[in-house]
Amino acid sequence: MKKMLSVLLAAMLIVTAFGALAEAPTSFTEAPYITNLGTYGDVTERLPVASDVMVEDADYLEIGVYGGELKTSASTSNWTAGKIIEEGLFRFKIDGTVEPNVAKSYEVSDDYTTYTIHLREGMKWSDGQPFTAEDCVWFYNAICLNKVDSKGVRACHKDANGNPAVVEKVDDYTFTVTFGTPKYDFVEAVAVDLKWHWAPKHIFEKMVNHILAGEDAEALAEAKAICGVEFADVGAAGKEMLYYFWNYPGIPTLNPFVMSTEAGKNDIKGDYYEFVRNPYYFKVDAQGQQLPYVDKITYTAIQNVDQSLMLLLDGSVDWQTVAMGSLSTIMSDANVPITINEWPGGEWGSVTTQMHWNLSIADEKLNALFNNIAFREAMSICVDRTEFAALFSDGWLEGGQAAPSEGALGYSEEWAKKWTEYDVAKAKELLESCGLVMGADGYYDFADGTDFTLNIVSVADSGAADTYALLKVYYDAAGIKTTFRDYDRSNIDVMTQSNEIECILYPVTGIGDISIILKPNSMVPGTATNVVWYGNMTKETATGDLLELINLKEKLDVTGDPAERTAIAEQMLALHEKNMWTIAYVEAAPAYHAVNGRVHNFPAQGVWSDIYRDLGFAHSQCWFIPVDQQ
Amino acid sequence: MLKYIKKRLLLFIPTIIIISIVIFFIIQLPPGDYVSSYVAALAAEGETFTPEEIAAMRADYGLDDPWYIQYFNWVKGIVTEGDFGYSFEYGRSVWSVIMDRLYLTLAVSFVILIFQYAVSLPIGIYCANHQYSAGDYIWSFIGFLGTATPNFLLAILMMYWIYMATGEVYLGLFSHDMLQNGLRMEYLPEFLFRCLIPLIVIGTSGTCGIIRTVRAQMLDEQVRQYTLTARAKGCSEKTIIYKYCLRSALNPVVSGMSGSLRTIFSGSTVSAIVMNLQIQGPVLLQALKTQDMYLAGTIVMIQAILVVVGTLLSDIALAWLDPRIRFSERG
pLDDT tens column, A173-208: 999 999 999 998 899 889 987 678 999 999 999 999
Instruction: Indicate yes or no: CB of B180 within 8 angstroms of CB of A274.
Output: yes
B152 Cβ under 8 Å from any chain A Cβ: no
Name residue B38's beta-bridge partners: none
Give residue A7's pLDDT: 45
A630 Cβ under 8 Å from any chain B Cβ: no
Residues in contact with B211: Cβ distance below 8 Å, sequence separation at least 6, in sequence order: B120, B123, B124, B127, B139, B140, B143
Alpha helices in B260-292 (DSSP H): 260-266, 270-274, 280-289
| Nearest-angstrom CA–CA distance, B48 and B167 | 42
Give residue A13's pLDDT: 42
B289 Cβ under 8 Å from any chain A Cβ: yes
Q: Is A26 exposed, middle or buried (0-12, 13-18, 19+ CB in 10 A)?
A: exposed
A296 Cβ under 8 Å from any chain B Cβ: no
Question: Each residue of A498-527: pLDDT tens digit?
Answer: 888 999 999 988 998 888 888 888 999 988
| B224 C-beta neighbours (distance < 10 Å), count | 13
Give residue B327's pLDDT: 64
CATH number of B96-330: 1.10.3720.10
Instruction: Indicate yes or no: CB of A232 within 8 angstroms of CB of B86.
Output: yes
CATH 3.10.105.10 matches A355-584:
yes
Instruction: Indicate yes or no: CB of A494 within 8 angstroms of CB of B174.
Output: no
Name residue A69's beta-bridge partners: A296
Q: With residue A169 as reference, give the H or E element that holds it.
A: strand A166-171
Q: What pTM, to 2 d.p., does this model score?
A: 0.83
Give A170 or A608, the one with higher predicted confidence: A170
Q: For a pLDDT cut of 70, what percent of chain A falls above it?
A: 96
Domain with CATH 3.40.190.10 in chain A: 1-82+255-338+596-630
Give A401 or A94, the one with higher predicted confidence: A401
- Please choose, from the candidates A502, A545, A216, A457, the residue with its C-alpha nearest in 3D space to the C-alpha of residue A364: A502
Q: Give how far A426 is from chain B: nearest CA, Å.
A: 37
Name residue A275's beta-bridge partners: A259, A297
Give residue B44's pLDDT: 64
Q: With residue B275 as reference, give the H or E element that holds it.
A: none
- Out of A48-57, A221-230, A616-625, B221-230, pick the least confident: B221-230
| A392 C-beta neighbours (distance < 10 Å), count | 22
Instruction: Indicate yes or no: CB of A307 within 8 angstroms of CB of B289.
Output: no
Domain with CATH 3.90.76.10 in chain A: 87-251
Instruction: Indicate yes or no: CB of B44 within 8 angstroms of CB of A78.
Output: no
B36 Cβ under 8 Å from any chain A Cβ: yes
Phi-psi region of B46 (alpha: psi -120 to 50; beta: other; left: phi over 0): left
Q: Give how far B37 is from chain A: nearest CA, Å.
A: 5
Closest by Cβ to A490, choosing from B32, B89, B180: B32
Residues in contact with A450: Cβ distance below 8 Å, sequence separation at least 6, in sequence order: A365
A75 Cβ under 8 Å from any chain B Cβ: no
Taking the domains of chain B in order of start, what are their residue ranges? 14-83, 96-330
pLDDT of residue A1 exceeding 50, the answer is no
- Out of A103-112, A343-352, A557-566, B308-317, pick the least confident: B308-317
Task: Give the 3-state secondary structure of residue A429.
Answer: helix
Task: Give the 3-state secondary structure of residue A601.
Answer: coil
Closest by Cβ to A307, choosing from B48, B171, B272: B171
Q: Give how far B202 is from chain A: nearest CA, Å.
A: 18
pLDDT of residue A561 exceeding 70, the answer is yes
Confidence of residue A428 (pLDDT cuts 50, 70, 90): very high
Give residue A194's pLDDT: 65
Angle at B220 between CA B216 and CA B224, to 5 degrees: 165
Give residue A162's pLDDT: 86
Average pLDDT over residues A217-233: 90
Size of interface A-B (CB pairs under 8 A): 121
- Please choose, from the candidates A414, A436, A416, A417, the residue with its C-alpha nearest in 3D space to the C-alpha of residue A427: A436
10-residue averages of pLDDT along chain B (331 residues): 78 86 84 74 68 76 81 88 84 85 85 86 89 89 82 87 87 88 88 87 80 88 88 87 83 74 74 85 86 88 84 78 65 44
Closest by Cβ to B176, choosing from A71, A310, A492: A71
- Please report residues of A whose CB lies closer than 8 A to that of B86: 232
Instruction: Indicate yes or no: CB of B40 within 8 angstroms of CB of A271.
Output: no
- Please choose, from the candidates A374, A286, A314, A404, the residue with its C-alpha nearest in 3D space to the C-alpha of residue A28: A286
Give B258 or A73, the one with higher predicted confidence: A73
Query: With DSSP H G I counted as helix, E B as strand and the rest as coil, what are the percentages for chain B, rounded to 5?
Result: 80, 0, 20
Measured CA to CA in angstroms, residue A220 lies from A145, A208, B83 at distances of: 21, 10, 18
Instruction: Indicate yes or no: CB of B91 within 8 angstroms of CB of A269.
Output: yes
Strands A174-178 and A114-119: antiparallel
Confidence of residue A252 (pLDDT cuts 50, 70, 90): very high
Name residue A351's beta-bridge partners: none
- Please choose, from the candidates A259, A257, A254, A256, the residue with its C-alpha nearest in 3D space to the C-alpha of residue A226: A259
Instruction: Indicate yes or no: CB of A231 within 8 angstroms of CB of B91.
Output: yes
Q: Tell me if ipTM is over 0.85.
A: no
- Please report residues of A whose CB lies closer than 8 A to that of B42: 78-79
Instruction: Indicate yes or no: CB of B53 within 8 angstroms of CB of A150.
Output: yes
A335 Cβ under 8 Å from any chain B Cβ: yes
Instruction: Indicate yes or no: CB of B40 within 8 angstroms of CB of A493.
Output: yes
| Range 53-72 of B in CB contact (< 8 A) with A | 53-54, 56-57, 60
Closest by Cβ to B31, choosing from A272, A307, A491: A491
Average pLDDT over residues A112-138: 96
**How many helices, marked H, and strands, marked E, lie in chain A?**
20, 22
Closest by Cβ to B273, choosing from A272, A304, A313: A304
Peptide bond into A292 cis (omega under 30): yes
| Range 95-134 of B in CB contact (< 8 A) with A | none
Average pLDDT over residues A422-426: 96
| Nearest-angstrom CA–CA distance, A487 and A465 | 11
Instruction: Indicate yes or no: CB of B176 within 8 angstroms of CB of A298.
Output: yes
Closest by Cβ to B90, choosing from A151, A269, A530: A269
Nearest CA in chain A to B281: A303
- The overall average pLDDT reported for chain A is 90
- Residue to mutate among A267, A308, A490, A514, with most B CBs inside 10 A, is A490
Confidence of residue A22 (pLDDT cuts 50, 70, 90): low
B42 Cβ under 8 Å from any chain A Cβ: yes
CATH number of A87-251: 3.90.76.10
**Which residue type occupies B301?**
M
- Please report residues of B whose CB lies closer than 8 A to that of A269: 89-91
Superfamily of domain A1-82+255-338+596-630: Periplasmic binding protein-like II (3.40.190.10)
